């Protein structure tokens, strides 16, 4: 699928009506959830988060600034029956955003969409570190009969030649442990290891891959289910708001970030607070990126 011209969505992240030309950040909504293992519904994630984002107050208290250079693309139309084709469409969209010299922020959808994004980045960056904030390692070769299950995302990114850091893991398969073995280009940091000194644990993991540009993939199940119940595979023992924002600040202020995604948000009834939390986390990340990365 070729995306040839800017297509303005009537539903803009943050209610921000920046022109495409002025925008530095492009939100790419991908309402696809066919690879979800347990609770489906991530297809409703992007619209729910964008809806909640309109209630954000644009002034960020921590950063003392307002960020408005955001443009929201129309939803990528998924191919329900083909993860591979959906991933191809995601790749096309990210290629286009990069060719326009803008910073893509994907909004999933399940975690399989990350593969399309990383494919586009690998064409531009021979060496790339994929940093996953995730309760799972997503390193299965195949899951439920699919190589494009959300449980295989990091494995596919690894095969594309990316280095892998999975941070905050608290659910892991024996097959994944065997696969990682003594590989030096994959690092798993469990939540158990990270919880007493999260920023130090992150710095240590990143220091294994110095200089590499970083693609940051944020699976919302990284957060504790008490604040983020809206996800297809919730895991106890997750991270709180302030720890999470400190970790994002840490990586964004210390490494070159080339792209981001936020995946696996799957709305449940009466938890609009979780949609709002995610909208705020995305806006917060845009703030950090603006202060530390974008000239």
Binding residues (CB under 5 A) for Mn ion: these are 134-136, 219, 221
> To the nearest whole angstrom, how small is the minimum distance from the Cβ of residue 140 to Mn ion?
12
> To the nearest whole angstrom, how small is the minimum distance from the Cβ of residue 27 to Mn ion?
21
Structure tokens at 223: 């957060």
Residue placing its CB nearer to Mn ion in the complex, 95 or 221: 221
| Angle, alpha carbons 224-227-232 (nearest 5°) | 65
Residue placing its CB nearer to Mn ion in the complex, 79 or 172: 172
Residue placing its CB nearer to Mn ion in the complex, 103 or 148: 148
> To the nearest whole angstrom, how small is the minimum distance from the Cβ of residue 103 to Mn ion?
24
282 prior amide bond cis, ω within 30: no
Are the beta carbons of 149 and 172 closer than 8 angstroms? no
Nearest to 277 by CA among 52, 71, 105: 52
Residue placing its CB nearer to Mn ion in the complex, 48 or 219: 219
> To the nearest whole angstrom, how small is the minimum distance from the Cβ of residue 265 to Mn ion?
11
> To the nearest whole angstrom, how small is the minimum distance from the Cβ of residue 169 to Mn ion?
9
Distance CA 129, CA 215 (A): 6
Residue placing its CB nearer to Mn ion in the complex, 13 or 265: 265
Residue placing its CB nearer to Mn ion in the complex, 72 or 149: 149
> To the nearest whole angstrom, how small is the minimum distance from the Cβ of residue 83 to Mn ion?
16
> What is 120-157 written as a DSSP string?
HHHHH-SS-EEEEE-SB----S-BTTBTTSGGGHHHHH
**Pairing mode of beta strands 59-60, 65-66:** antiparallel
Residue placing its CB nearer to Mn ion in the complex, 231 or 290: 231
- Number of helices (H), then strands (E), belonging to the chain: the values are 9, 10
Nearest to 219 by CA among 281, 135, 148: 135
Distance CA 176, CA 179 (A): 5
What single DSSP character describes residue 52? H
Nearest position to Mn ion, beta carbon:
136
Residue placing its CB nearer to Mn ion in the complex, 114 or 290: 114
> What is 53-73 written as a DSSP string?
HTT--SEETTTTEE---EEEB
> To the nearest whole angstrom, how small is the minimum distance from the Cβ of residue 290 to Mn ion?
27
> To the nearest whole angstrom, how small is the minimum distance from the Cβ of residue 132 to Mn ion?
8
How far, in whole angstroms, is CA 226 from its chain's centroid?
20
């Amino acid at each position: 699928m070729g995306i040839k011209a800017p297509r303005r969505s009537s539903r803009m992240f943050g209610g921000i009506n920046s022109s495409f030309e002025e925008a530095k950040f492009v939100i790419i909504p991908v309402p696809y959830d066919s690879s979800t293992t347990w609770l489906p519904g991530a297809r409703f994630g992007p619209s729910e988060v964008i809806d909640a984002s309109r209630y954000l107050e644009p002034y960020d208290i921590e950063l003392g600034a307002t960020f408005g250079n955001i443009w929201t693309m129309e939803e990528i139309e998924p191919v329900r029956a083909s993860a591979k084709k959906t991933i191809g469409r995601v790749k096309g969209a990210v290629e286009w955003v990069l060719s326009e010299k803008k910073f893509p922020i994907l909004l999933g959808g399940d975690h399989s969409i990350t593969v399309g994004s990383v494919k586009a980045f690998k064409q531009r960056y021979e060496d790339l570190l994929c940093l996953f904030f995730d309760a799972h390692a997503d390193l299965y070769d195949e899951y439920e009969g699919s190589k494009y299950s959300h449980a295989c995302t990091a494995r596919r990114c690894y095969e594309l030649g990316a280095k892998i850091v999975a941070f905050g893991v608290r659910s892991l398969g024996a097959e994944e442990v065997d696969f990682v073995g003594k590989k030096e280009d994959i690092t798993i940091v469990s939540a158990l290891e990270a919880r007493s000194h999260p920023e130090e644990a992150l710095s240590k993991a990143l220091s294994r891959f110095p200089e590499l540009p970083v693609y940051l993939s944020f699976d919302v199940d990284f957060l504790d289910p008490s604040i983020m119940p809206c996800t297809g595979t919730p895991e106890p023992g997750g991270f709180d708001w302030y720890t999470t924002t400190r970790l994002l600040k840490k990586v964004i202020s210390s490494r070159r970030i080339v792209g981001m995604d936020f995946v696996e948000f799957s709305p449940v009834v009466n938890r609009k607070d979780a949609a709002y939390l995610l909208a705020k986390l995305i806006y917060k990340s845009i703030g950090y990126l603006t202060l530390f990365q974008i000239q």
